[in-house]
Amino acid sequence: MKRILVTGATSGIGRATALRLAAPDTQMIITGRRTERLALLKQEIEAKGAECLVLNFDVRSEAECKEFLEPLGRVDVLINNAGLAAGLEHIDRGDTADWDAMIDTNVKGLLYVTRIISRAMVEAGQGGHIINIGSIAGTEPYENGAVYCASKHAVHAISQAMRADLLSAGIKVGEVRPGMVETEFSEVRFHGDKERAAGVYKGVDPLTGADIAEAIHWMLSLPPHMNVNDIVLMPTQQAGAYYTHKR
């Protein structure tokens, strides 16, 4: 039975990915902080014939990562999806609590999870596959996004270094870097301001969580000798962080 771990599975890309990868002879391991959402997702996953294990914890806590993940042993696939953007201000106006949330989740949380899971993969000696969810912000910094962009630059660098670190263990490593995806991302960034969040996508047909999940499914379906190191996905109306054509 294939065992697949998806962090941040309560919404958006994580939720869509968990559903896309759920299949008979698969155990989906889903993590997140919102208990009720995890319970609902578990039901949907099991309706597709997969087993589902729910782990309700915060990746920002190294102690919780150890408590919940070390007993798992080896998993076949890790999708490092947990992440967020918080705030959109010039650097002199930024909220340090927002900065801490982004760095602790997007960078340190990814590292805590990966250290535990990759170690189990290496020790088992049977390979594995790790996919990190980055962003175009990982190579294209933009105004008002200094710390978020820095965190995704870190994910990009970590992904590349991780690929080299795990090469001899036969563990595949890839990164998915989307542009504009309509999820709860902007609502979280604007601290619950739904009207402001909706304005981000006005006049654009953005990508969806399901679109990203489809790309992840494709990456995982490739034969053993093929690895996608890095894939960038954009809406047709977006050419980069600064180039979006709105109707």
Within 10 angstroms of residue 196's Cβ, the number of other Cβ atoms is 14
148 has catalytic annotation: yes
Within 10 angstroms of residue 67's Cβ, the number of other Cβ atoms is 12
Q: Give the amino acid at 177.
A: R
CA distance 101 to 84: 8
CA distance 112 to 66: 8
Token pair, residue 166, equals: 């795990």
Alpha carbon separation from 232 to 15, 47, 153, 239 (Å, rounded): 20, 32, 14, 11
Check if the beta carbon of residue 56 is closer than 8 Å to that of residue 109: no
The DSSP result for 11-71, as a single string, is: SHHHHHHHHHH--TTEEEEEEES-HHHHHHHHHHHHHTT-EEEEEE--TT-HHHHHHHHGG
Within 10 angstroms of residue 206's Cβ, the number of other Cβ atoms is 20
CA distance 171 to 181: 28
CA distance 92 to 43: 45
Catalytic-labelled residue, pool 148, 201, 242, 243: 148
Catalytic residues: 148
